[in-house]
Amino acid sequence: MFSLGGSETGKKILAAAAPNLTPVVLELGGKNPAVVLPDANQQLVAEKIARGRSGNSGQICLDVDYAMVPANQLTDYIHLIVEQLEQAFPTYSDNPEYSAIINDAAYKRITGMLVEAQQRGTQLLTINPNHDAVPDATKRLIPLTLAINSDPDLQIAKNEIFGPILSIFTYETLDEAIAFINTHEKSLAMYVFGKNKAQLNRVIRHTSSGGVDINELALHAGSHEMGFGGVGYSGMGRYKGGKVGFETFSNPKSVYKQGILAKYTTRFMVPIHNQRNEKRFKKMLGL
């Protein structure tokens, strides 16, 4: 059985499969982090994260859920990301390029996150250059929004957003950023931007996720050597990619045909009743 969806739905599918011992491959989601190192190309990072997060209104399992940026670069990244989002979507109403939220339940969940964050004093930046009448419950349109350093106990910080909201958190040291990531469940993907190899490797070694991209988004999902999948809360099993995908959805069956040793293996492998057979058996095994 194969399922693609959210982690909570994955739990139900796994529970339903258990009584029948049905093998399951789960490709789930999670809070995919983007760790931006101090030496990263700011313009390129902002473009990739902003454009990637706004695709399908953030309803893509491999989207960046939250970005971690150096504290002294926060203002720069906010400015650059807002600039990118305004260029990508100057308007929402009647814009065929901007996606609606998939259903009413998802719309209420995402807007509920925003209301909670606003009530708790989170800095929210709504990208709405044309001043459209959004959020729009009828059309299920939610404007692209940045949430800056929200409290860790808020839904927007704890749960996968899967919508047009990008959380941005700041860090002073790389160890602080790694520790923050490890407070969350393991994600389907993690993205690291920067040039310093030692720092890149440190992030990769000290965190766990289904896959990692360095200075890019989501391209690891096309790997034909390892396949694609999550780990822990973000899924189990790997699929896609030639041999990996074939083996995932196949059941290898071993077949052994005995040759000239047939009479000896039966004779020596049945219960041993005397020392002579015991010696022969040990000799055959090299004991």
Question: For residue 65, which of 195, 220, 234, 232 has the smallest C-alpha distance?
Answer: 234
CB 143 within 8 A of CB 39: no
Confidence category of residue 274, pLDDT binned at 50, 70, 90: low
Give me the percent of the chain exceeding a pLDDT of 70.
Answer: 92
Confidence category of residue 237, pLDDT binned at 50, 70, 90: confident
Q: Please tell me which residue in 8, 27, 160, 225 is annotated as part of the active site.
A: 27
Question: Does an H or E element contain 157, and which?
Answer: helix 155-158
Q: Please tell me which residue in 8, 61, 160, 278 is annotated as part of the active site.
A: 61
34 phi, psi to nearest 5 deg? -120, 115
Residues 120 and 8 in one domain: no
How is residue 81 written in tokens? Answer: 């990301």
Residues 197 and 57 in one domain: yes
CB 199 within 8 A of CB 36: no
pLDDT tens string 29-51: 889 999 999 999 999 999 999 99
61 is catalytic: yes
Average pLDDT over residues 38-66: 96
How is residue 50 written in tokens? Answer: 């902003």
Residues 110 and 245 in one domain: no
CB atoms within 10 A of CB 257: 5
What confidence score (pLDDT) does residue 171 get?
A: 98
Q: Which of 37-41, 184-188, 277-281 has the lowest mean pLDDT?
A: 277-281
What confidence score (pLDDT) does residue 273 get?
A: 61
Tell me the pTM. 0.85
pLDDT tens string 253-262: 899 887 776 6
How is residue 197 written in tokens? Answer: 């190899």
State the residue range of the domain holding 166. Answer: 31-222
Residues 185 and 98 in one domain: yes
Average pLDDT over residues 272-276: 65
Residues 39 and 139 in one domain: yes
Residues 87 and 189 in one domain: yes
Residues 76 and 130 in one domain: yes
Give one DSSP letter per residue of 87-147, joined into a string: HH-S--TT-TTSPPPSSHHHHHHHHHHHHHHHHTT-EEEEE-TT----SBTTTTB--EEEE
Residue 214 clears pLDDT 70, i.e. is over it: yes
Long-range CB contacts for residues 70-77, cutoff 8 Å, separation at least 24: 70/36, 70/37, 70/38, 70/170, 70/171, 70/172, 71/170, 71/171, 71/172, 73/36, 73/38, 73/42, 74/148, 74/168, 74/170, 76/42, 77/36, 77/42, 77/45, 77/46, 77/168
Residues 147 and 277 in one domain: no
Residues 236 and 142 in one domain: no
CB 168 within 8 A of CB 78: yes
Using only C-alpha atoms, what is the Rg of the chain? Answer: 26
Residues 60 and 165 in one domain: yes
27 is catalytic: yes
Question: Does an H or E element contain 170, and which?
Answer: strand 165-171
CB 154 within 8 A of CB 123: no
How is residue 2 written in tokens? Answer: 């194969």
CB 62 within 8 A of CB 218: yes
- Which CATH number belongs to the domain containing residue 161 in this structure? 3.40.309.10
Residues 237 and 95 in one domain: no
Burial 128-144 (b: 16+ CB within 10 A, else e): beeebebbeeebbbbbb
Q: Do strands 33-36 and 66-70 pair parallel, antiparallel, or not at all (unpaired)?
A: parallel
Domain count, the chain: 3
Residues 262 and 150 in one domain: no
